Amino acid sequence: MSFTYPGKDNKPALDGVDLHIPAGATVALVGENGSGKSTSAKLLAGLYLPDEGQVLVGGVPTSEIDRQAWFSRIANVSQDFYHWPLTARMNVAIGRTDADPTEERLTAGVRHADAEDLIEDLPRGWDTLLARGYQDGHSLSGGQWQKLGIARAHFRAGQILVVDEPTAALDAKAEQQAFTRIRALAAGGQTVVLITHRLHSVRSADLIYLMEDGRVAESGTFAELMDPATVPDGRFRDMYEIQRAQFASDDDERAVPLQKGPTVT
Ligand SMILES: Nc1ncnc2c1ncn2[C@@H]1O[C@H](COP(=O)(O)OP(=O)(O)OP(=O)(O)O)[C@@H](O)[C@H]1O
Ligand SMILES: [Mg+2]
């Protein structure tokens, strides 16, 4: 499918992109800034309609099924997901406004997101207004909002979970936990579309698409993309190696202050 944002008529954001997303699979979209990952996710979710091509679900074009019904099957944990100036309760319950926000469902959502303490520590618990600059308003950090976003997605209980950079604001440990939880959603039969810059996180994906300038440059499993025999050009492999060097130097830095006692070899 192809798509050009209004006012950018010369430069399509997506140019002949063909993505296959098997039901129940975890599919990763990776690639540089502006390569078209978020745009692909928005077309998939039906937020925008493609200029050329279509989104098919089980062979049926989404344009032929009720837009509301299709939208209702998708849960988003997005880069630009909204921080509503509402209570903590409403910020989770807004995930699905036609569902009863019972204590049980809300609690299951925050437990899933490892955000139970976060809610407990709020001055008025679930009834705390999450808004800076309002009377009695309480500010959350980026990482805390991300956790609430995962709770919201759990409450929404969509069949397709679109995760666009969920962990950008999380620390390393919280990131690991967030991915574990996202994988748990996938294990429950949900289809997961995971958009991330951290290639370390996509090793266990069923399928990886490397996007480049609005096109799919490479696709396959992690093992396939890392294998010079399968992908001689190896752009994913190059990116992964650069990031691996980064992990290694991070590890070195972390290791230094720990070397207090005698080194055992
Ligand atoms: N709302 C918009 N209006 C106009 N152009 C847009 C809009 N959103 C994205 N674009 C353009 O479309 C192209 C693809 O953007 P997209 O957001 O899909 O990239 P991305 O792969 O998600 O990047 P990132 O890793 O930075 O999130 C870019 O050239 C971008 O400038
Ligand atoms: Mg993006």
Mean pLDDT of the chain: 84
The answer to the question of residue 6 being in a domain is no
What is the span of the domain harbouring residue 30? 26-257
Where does ligand 1 bind, in terms of residues with CB under 6 Å? 5, 8, 13, 31, 33-39
The answer to the question of residue 18 being in a domain is no
Q: Whose CA is nearest to atom 12 of ligand 1?
A: 13
| Residue 18, phi then psi, degrees to nearest 5 | -125, 110
Q: Domain total for the chain? A: 1
Q: Whose CA is nearest to atom 25 of ligand 1?
A: 33
Select from 5, 9, 44, 78 the residue to mutate for testing ligand 1; criterion: most ligand atoms less than 8 Å from CB: 5
Encode pLDDT of 236-262 as tens digits: 999 999 988 876 665 544 444 333 334
Which CATH number characterizes residue 214's domain?
Answer: 3.40.50.300
Encode pLDDT of 133-154 as tens digits: 788 789 998 778 888 988 998 8
The answer to the question of residue 21 being in a domain is no
pLDDT band at 217 (very low <50, low <70, confident <90, very high): very high
The answer to the question of residue 263 being in a domain is no
The answer to the question of residue 8 being in a domain is no
Select from 1, 8, 209 the residue to mutate for testing ligand 1; criterion: most ligand atoms less than 8 Å from CB: 8
Q: What is the DSSP string of 202-243?
A: GTT-SEEEEEETTEEEEEE-HHHHH-TTT-SS-HHHHHHHHH
The answer to the question of residue 101 being in a domain is yes
